[in-house]
Structure 1
Amino acid sequence: MVTNKDAHGKKGSIVAIIKGTKAQDVIDVINQIPIERRKMVREVTVDMAGNMNLIAKKCFPKTDIVTDRFHVQKLASEAVQEERIRLRWEIIEAENKAIEEDRNKGKVYQPELLSNGDTLRQLLARSRYLLFKSKAKWTVNQIERAEILFKLYPTIEKAYNLAQDLSFIFQTNTSKSIARLKLAHWYDKVEKSEFKSFNTIAKSIQTHYDSILNYFNNRSTNASAESFNAKIKEFRAQFRGVRDVKFFLYRLTKLYA
């Protein structure tokens, strides 16, 4: 998504759909727009893919490149889920061994039930969605499940808190200088946590440091474009693929334009 200003300083956004993701193909299409108009663009919001940054730099010479906050936060959420899944596989393996041992003894395996009625395996499976949310948005059942989860698996709580701390920086800070300081403090927490996945995220943030901090200039995101993309994917999935591309685009225009 690109943001520009008219002669009166009013901001506006432009969303375009281009076939394919090859950088040169996209550049060739965008460069059909006169350079005078492209110089009016003040911000381009991109994900962390290298080809998107290349397109922005080559096509919009006067722009500030903004790395979308939601792509950064998504990496942190995936790191939390990685820890949950790792522990779930450990529980599944231990449970399989216990089932085999009881079978050899002529017994029927009975898994331990936790206070909320979950088994350990169910606890780790059913905690998936609550780990994407902030604590303020948890339901009563999710609060109970989270308390049990964090007591049994403190590494998940540590990973969850790191992801929420990063999200809080984006949600509450409007000053670029303060955000820079808060991110530096977050890096310290990551280093002390010794989570390999979060260290990888921290390095990714450092690689895109300037463009991530540019978010705090105007708090611009490409959420509208991502939402539209999700609608297209859902619409396409309903028909299990697309044969007639022109008719598909016609239907999209009628439904969402």
Structure 2
Amino acid sequence: MAPNMEQIAQTCFPAAKRVTDRFHVQKLAYEAVQEMRVQARWEALDEESIQIAYAKACGKMYHAPVFANGDTRKQLLARSIYLLYKKESLWTQSQRIRAEILFKEYPDIKKGYYMAMRLGSIYHQCKFKDMALTRLARWYDEVDKSGFLTFGRVARSIQTHYLNIINFFERRATNAAAESFNAKIKAFRAQFRGVKDKAFFLYRLAKLYA
């Protein structure tokens, strides 16, 4: 969705139909949930610092409250990073318990998590562009009504690029192969701590990966 990438595609492949990869769209939603979690964690850290200072002023030892799974509030928020990326069906038992506590304490994070998962379900369940466009419009309305600033930025990005996003549902094409090959090139380049002779580097790439 970056403007420079769009310009490259238009210049090099003027007749091609551009597709915004599903990975990047879903990543925006997952990052919005993580931003909500991080913000809540900073607030928890600030609150704990105030409580520690107050206890010290009173000559007492501060003991942070602990939830049923043994996590303090800041530990709960720090350790929830991975479960918020995963589907509910893929949670481990400990993640399920942690998620139950997290969602009870932070209902906004719960709402944001399920909004991100519903965006992913559009890609899994929709087979046609018209159906996907309708579901995407409903999701956009849901985000708009939620009032979450983090998801507002996601919704605006989707609104700007929705034509390229729904092109995915024609052939369900992704750039996974290109991303995989790009990772191989980066790993190969990293072995030499950079490249001085570009022509020879490209020659070796062609011999190894052609």
Same fold at TM > 0.5? yes
Matched, 1:113 2:73: no
Pairwise mapping of residues 129-140 of structure 1 onto structure 2 (< 5 A)?
129-140=82-93
C-alpha distance in structure 2 between counterparts of 1:145 and 1:255, whole Å: 47
Pairwise mapping of residues 125-164 of structure 1 onto structure 2 (< 5 A)?
125-164=78-117
Retained in 2: the 8 A contact 1:67–1:215?
yes
C-alpha distance in structure 1 between counterparts of 2:189 and 2:57, whole Å: 50
C-alpha distance in structure 1 between counterparts of 2:129 and 2:26, whole Å: 18
Cα pair distance change 1:128/1:248, threshold 3 Å: farther
Retained in 2: the 8 A contact 1:73–1:166?
yes
Q: Which amino acid aligns with 2:157?
A: S
Higher helix share: 2
Aligned to 1:69: 22
Retained in 2: the 8 A contact 1:80–1:156?
yes
C-alpha distance in structure 1 between counterparts of 2:205 and 2:94, whole Å: 39
Q: Which amino acid aligns with 1:171?
A: H
Cα pair distance change 1:244/1:57, threshold 3 Å: closer
Give the number of aligned pairs: 208
Question: 2:129 is matched with which residue: 176, 201, 209?
Answer: 176
C-alpha distance in structure 1 between counterparts of 2:93 and 2:3, whole Å: 42
Matched, 1:210 2:153: no
SS at match of 2:60: coil
C-alpha distance in structure 1 between counterparts of 2:104 and 2:11, whole Å: 51
Identity of aligned residues (%): 55
Retained in 2: the 8 A contact 1:72–1:205?
yes
Aligned to 1:101: 54
What is the TM-score of this pair, normalised by structure 2? 0.89
Structure 1 stretches of 4+ moved >6 Å? 247-257
SS at match of 2:19: strand
Aligned to 2:193: 242
Question: 2:152 is matched with which residue: 190, 193, 199?
Answer: 199
C-alpha distance in structure 2 between counterparts of 1:94 and 1:254, whole Å: 59
Cα pair distance change 1:236/1:130, threshold 3 Å: farther
Cα pair distance change 1:61/1:233, threshold 3 Å: closer
Residue 55 of structure 1 and its aligned partner are, at CA, apart by: 1.9
Cα pair distance change 1:114/1:228, threshold 3 Å: farther
Q: Which amino acid aligns with 1:166?
A: L
Aligned to 1:225: 178
Q: Which amino acid aligns with 1:130?
A: L
Residue 229 of structure 1 and its aligned partner are, at CA, apart by: 3.4
Aligned to 2:42: 89
Cα pair distance change 1:105/1:229, threshold 3 Å: farther
C-alpha distance in structure 2 between counterparts of 1:218 and 1:142, whole Å: 35
Cα pair distance change 1:68/1:117, threshold 3 Å: same
Q: Which amino acid aligns with 1:217?
A: E
C-alpha distance in structure 1 between counterparts of 2:142 and 2:188, whole Å: 42
Q: Which amino acid aligns with 1:172?
A: Q
Residue segments in structure 2 that go unaligned for 5+ positions in a row:
none
Q: Which amino acid aligns with 2:45?
A: I
Residue segments in structure 1 that go unaligned for 5+ positions in a row:
1-47
Bigger RCO (CA 8 Å, 6+ sep)? 2
Q: Which amino acid aligns with 2:125?
A: T
Residue 191 of structure 1 and its aligned partner are, at CA, apart by: 1.0
